[in-house]
Amino acid sequence: MGFQFPKWLKTQNNLSHIDISNSGISQSIPTWFKNFSTHLSLVNISNNQINGPIAINDYSATRVLEIVDLSSNHFYGSVPNSLFKVGALFLSKNNFSSLSYICNVSDEYYLRILDISDNQLTGELPNCFLKLKDLRALILSNNKLSGEIPGFIGQLLSLAVLNLSRNLLSGKIPTRPQLQERDEASYIGNPELCGSPLLKKCPEHSKPTTPKSKTRQVLVMVIDIVVALASPIGFFLIILFKKAKKRLCKTRQVQQANEASKNGDILSIWNYDGKIAFEDIIKATEDFDIRYCIGTGGYGSVYRAQLPSGKIVALKKLHNSEAEKLSFRKSFENEVETLTKIRHRNIIRLYGFCLSKQSMFLIYEYMERGSLFCVLSNDLEVVELDWCKRINIIIKGIACALSYMHYDCTPPIVHRDITTTNILLNSEFEAFVSDYGTARLLDPDSSNQTMIAGTYGYIAPEFAYTMVITEKCDVYSFGVVVLETLMGKHSGDLLSKLMSSSSSSSIQHTLLSQIIDNRPSPPRNRLIEDDIVLIAMLGFACLNAKPNCRPTMKLVSHQLLAPKTSLAKRFSDVSLGQLMFPTEISLNVQNYDIHSIQEIQ
């Protein structure tokens, strides 16, 4: 028997947020919820057993409501128009079957994030989405949507995140110039879609017949008829000639394909054992000469190789002594297995691998800037890593990648070694999570106990004594990386002082502006200052000693994407203690306190 909504809520008319997720509630939403409409900023009733249509009252009087999370229930039917007034609406893992209710939305609504993944949606995408002009994230994965992706997607100028994976969509992926590149993972799982490196190629349209070519075809046909009528032998000669011509064309196509492979089409390595590209790789690195080595990882060295095609790739090669060790070989195989299952614009792309007695190496896309750790350690290069790049590219990119691994992969994947060394940067300072040698697939039917893995200074404290791996281990490591990115160095000393009872009080009075990296130009834009405060607050929340009190990466990524209000305090006056205990101050960054929200699964 399920539980009901807590009756004590009826008398709490001035609540700013309600979080009764994971409570086993099966009762439908009571009518007295309308009493909260004026003051609410967050409603979270996810992960319950509520069945039926959404019976939430009108929020037309609401001015601050930012997030409504009704995911992981049994809702069906239509969505009330008033819910499109919120900033972020999460309806994943329910039983909705239609998107037609969006056509009832008026132009005045300002929804930024809409997640209706894992439902029973059918039919084509309606043009009514154009009404949601401020939409920044649209997630419709794991449904049964069909038809072609409409061109209006390109007209949603604010849209930055789109996920249409695992549906029944067909046709060619439309051009979306305003969206971030490298988003092929948004389309996988649609067998009839084409036009992306991860999908099938679109069929080439036949060239239009010109008057000249048409005249030539008619002339050839007339000659064939005349020759055939004049001599039976001529008829058979024509047939043999055409068969030979067809065979010759096919042979040339095969030769061209083989030549392309030999010239370094590294994607073809997935269809073979690495033999085709092997000679090119050996030649490009002069048999893995030390001159081409650009770094050393946890279980091998990394080399830069330029193939005959001009493509530059990175190779992670196990040394012969390491290849003989079972633990290194297992890490190698684990990284291959993990990276072949996931695709995300902020996760390093694995092109292929070679696993043989002679050599073992992985082939990745090349990252021009190297690791985040190296950039932060270089006083000259770090100046280019301004606050806008640190906020919008690095921290948000890492958060989205981890959220994808924890919530969009089945089973969930825990990285177990999130560090600045394992965050790679391309020429545009885009961040990519790499090194999946210790990654672990979470088994819901297992205790997930494992041997300790990771890097000292980034490992969650509870992992040392429980030996149980959870997503919250990655959350803790992410918190360390956040502070390191803001400070420009590892935050170990700061964390030690905060945990020490003797110095905790004094360090809490330290200003945020005093600890952030002073090598790039200081933040002078108010929006950037607000982002730094929010990110620092999220970073400290991720470092909570109690795993259950840490936010999930899903919540963190949503916070970074959601619209924000201005700080109630000046940036120069914000202290570390206020970031760690935001309930004690009026930091009005996101309209609600991150620490007071329970887990959102």
Report yes or no: 314 and 232 within 8 Å, Cβ to Cβ.
no
Which residue matches tokens 């106990």? 449
Position 372 confidence tier, pLDDT thresholds 50, 70, 90? very high
Report yes or no: 442 and 410 within 8 Å, Cβ to Cβ.
no
pLDDT score of 15: 72
Here the tokens at position 399 are 């958060």
- Name residues whose C-beta falls within 8 Å of residue 74's C-beta, 6 or more positions apart in sequence: 49, 50, 51, 52, 94, 95
Fill in the DSSP letter of residue 117: -
Question: Considering only CA atoms, which of 77, 153, 156, 145 is closest in space to residue 117?
Answer: 145
Q: How far apart are CA 413 and CA 341, in angstroms?
A: 10
pLDDT score of 542: 92
pLDDT value at 418 more than 90: yes
Position 552 confidence tier, pLDDT thresholds 50, 70, 90? very high
What are the φ and ψ backbone dihedral angles of 350, each rounded to 5 degrees? -95, 115
Report yes or no: 294 and 314 within 8 Å, Cβ to Cβ.
yes
Strands (E), 411-527: 413-414, 423-425, 431-433, 440-441
If one compares 499 and 554, the residue with the highest pLDDT of the two is 554
pLDDT score of 175: 67
Q: How far apart are CA 56 and CA 319, in angstroms?
A: 61
Q: How far apart are CA 601 and CA 553, in angstroms?
A: 10
**Plot region of 523 (φ>0 → left; ψ -120 to 50 → alpha; else → beta):** beta
Report yes or no: 35 and 57 within 8 Å, Cβ to Cβ.
no
- Of 96-105, 142-151, 280-289, 326-335, where does mean pLDDT reach its minimum? 326-335
Q: How far apart are CA 109 and CA 479, in angstroms?
A: 34
Catalytic residues: 417
SS3 49: coil
pLDDT score of 325: 63
Cα first-last separation, the chain: 22
Q: How far apart are CA 281 and CA 265, in angstroms?
A: 11
Position 258 confidence tier, pLDDT thresholds 50, 70, 90? very low
Q: How far apart are CA 102 and CA 114, in angstroms?
A: 11
Position 200 confidence tier, pLDDT thresholds 50, 70, 90? low
Q: How far apart are CA 102 and CA 88, in angstroms?
A: 15
Radius of gyration from C-alpha coordinates of the chain: 28
Reported as a single tens digit per residue, the pLDDT across 264-308 is 333 334 433 344 467 788 888 888 888 888 877 656 788 998 888
Average pLDDT over residues 334-360: 79
